[in-house]
């Protein structure tokens, strides 16, 4: 069936009955936007669960209404989820066992270089997988997004994009993620932005909502010659308490971003009432619509969102709340990214 016939036969007001994410009638072959799911959390340092993020978001997505008041006929832009790799699931489980041994070694002052090398090599295998899938879909002219997993997972996508163009990153997070090989793990979830800043074509990193960070990270930002700009949660709240409108604050953030923008969204950047099961929740943070308003301002400014990731969504044992929030956040981000690439007429 052609894509046109698929969309003509699809009723967005009906219940979701297909296998596609959000119940959409698209495959990775005919969708304009493709999601790479990355079920990985090998190096998490606190609570586990984010490896189940992609499957939980997929399940929750079928309860999401497809009408988006900001984007006309948003569902027609075509969004599809790549296969969740069983091999990656298995590698994550094996690597996590090694990580737990390494963390115990750290506590006991034991050094095991062979174990650490194996962990780092397996993390690089995950990066290779994401790079290869990203390259495959980018070569076909798709917009490509990543769905974690922990926040280490989008590195391969960012590396592949950086081979092709220059861009800045708008980074939502409770943490700066600028640690150098945190706990000895080169590709730690707490080191994603440290690793990203090694990419010459990443011209700017603008961090929003940061509220847990260390002195080394503060010094790295201070010495970056404004290549890294951090808007802490404390600073943002202080401006609001002093009477500044959120739109005014957004304009200050936008002024730091180049024309092409990649959005990296750790869900713990939101208030933890919206993501209580995430790996490392921190008091404070942004509201759901507050964060999306900033992304909308990026699009309204004429900038282009070249890709994005959503990470650290961890479903609770008996609680689907995080996945319900994550599914809705991902859909809205995808719609805005597609809109910025002129896949739909401007409607706000």
Q: What is the pLDDT of residues 219-276, one digit of tens each?
A: 999 999 999 999 999 999 999 999 999 999 999 999 999 999 999 999 999 999 999 9
Burial class of residue 203 in the structure, from the number of CB atoms within 10 Å of its CB (0-12 exposed, 13-18 middle, 19+ buried): middle
Check if the beta carbon of residue 71 is closer than 8 Å to that of residue 297: no
Domain containing residue 109: 3-340
Residue at 17 is within a domain: yes
Which residue from 63, 68, 90, 57 is spatially nearest to 327, judged by alpha carbons?
A: 57
Count of the separate structural domains present in the chain: 1
| CA atoms 75, 261, 295, 347: torsion sign | negative
C-alpha R_g of the chain: 19
How many percent of the chain have pLDDT more than 70?
A: 97
| CA atoms 216, 218, 224, 227: torsion sign | positive
pLDDT at residue 346 in the model: 41
Q: What is the pLDDT of residues 92-147, one digit of tens each?
A: 999 999 999 988 888 899 889 999 999 999 999 999 999 999 999 999 999 999 99
The answer on pLDDT for 37 being more than 50 is yes
Quote the CA–CA distance of 317 and 221 in Å, as a whole number: 38
pLDDT at residue 345 in the model: 45
DSSP codes of every residue in 113-162? HHHHHHHHHHHHHHHHHHHHHHHHHHHTT-EEEEEESSTTTTHHHHHHHH
Residue at 348 is within a domain: no
Q: What is the mean pLDDT of the chain?
A: 93
DSSP structural state of residue 226: T
Which residue from 258, 86, 274, 77 is spatially nearest to 170, judged by alpha carbons?
A: 258
Contacts of 23 (CB under 8 A, 6+ apart): 15, 16, 17, 61, 62, 66
CATH number for the domain that contains residue 238: 3.40.800.10
Quote the CA–CA distance of 256 and 326 in Å, as a whole number: 27
How does strand 79-81 pair with strand 33-38? parallel
Residue at 55 is within a domain: yes
Residue at 347 is within a domain: no
Task: List C-alpha distances in Å: 47 to 187, 276, 280, 316, 336.
Answer: 18, 11, 7, 11, 31
pLDDT at residue 6 in the model: 62
pTM metric for this prediction: 0.94
């Amino acid at each position: 069936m052609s894509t046109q016939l698929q969309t003509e036969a699809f009723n967005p007001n009906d219940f979701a009955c297909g296998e596609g994410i959000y119940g959409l009638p698209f495959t990775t072959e005919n969708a304009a936007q493709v999601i790479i799911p990355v079920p990985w959390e090998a190096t998490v340092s606190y609570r586990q669960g984010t490896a189940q993020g992609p499957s939980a978001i997929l399940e929750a997505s079928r309860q999401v209404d497809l009408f988006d008041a900001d984007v006309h006929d948003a569902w027609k832009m075509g969004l599809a989820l790549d296969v969740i790799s069983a091999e990656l699931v298995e590698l994550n489980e094996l690597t996590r066992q090694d990580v737990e041994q390494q963390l115990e070694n750290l506590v006991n002052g034991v050094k095991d270089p062979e174990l650490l090398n194996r962990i780092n090599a397996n993390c690089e295998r995950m990066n290779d997988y994401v790079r290869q899938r990203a390259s495959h879909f980018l070569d076909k002219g798709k917009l490509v997004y990543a769905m974690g997993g922990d926040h280490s997972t989008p590195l391969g996508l960012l590396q592949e994009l950086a081979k092709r163009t220059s861009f800045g990153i708008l980074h939502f997070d409770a943490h700066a993620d600028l640690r150098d090989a945190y706990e000895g793990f080169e590709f730690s979830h707490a080191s994603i932005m440290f690793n990203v800043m090694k990419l010459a074509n990443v011209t700017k990193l603008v961090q929003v909502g940061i509220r847990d960070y260390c002195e080394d990270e503060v010094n790295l930002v201070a010495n970056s010659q404004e290549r890294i700009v951090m808007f802490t949660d404390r600073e943002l709240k202080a401006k609001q308490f002093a009477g500044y409108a959120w739109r005014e604050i957004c304009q200050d953030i936008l002024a730091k971003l180049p024309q092409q923008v990649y959005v990296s969204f750790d869900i713990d950047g939101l208030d933890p009432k919206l993501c209580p099961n995430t790996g490392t929740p921190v008091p404070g943070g942004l509201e759901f619509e507050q964060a999306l308003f900033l992304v909308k301002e990026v699009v309204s400014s004429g900038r282009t969102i070249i890709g994005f990731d959503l990470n650290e969504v961890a479903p609770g044992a008996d609680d689907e709340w995080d996945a319900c929030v994550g599914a809705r956040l991902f859909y809205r981000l995808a719609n805005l990214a597609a809109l910025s690439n002129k896949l739909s007429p401007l409607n706000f």
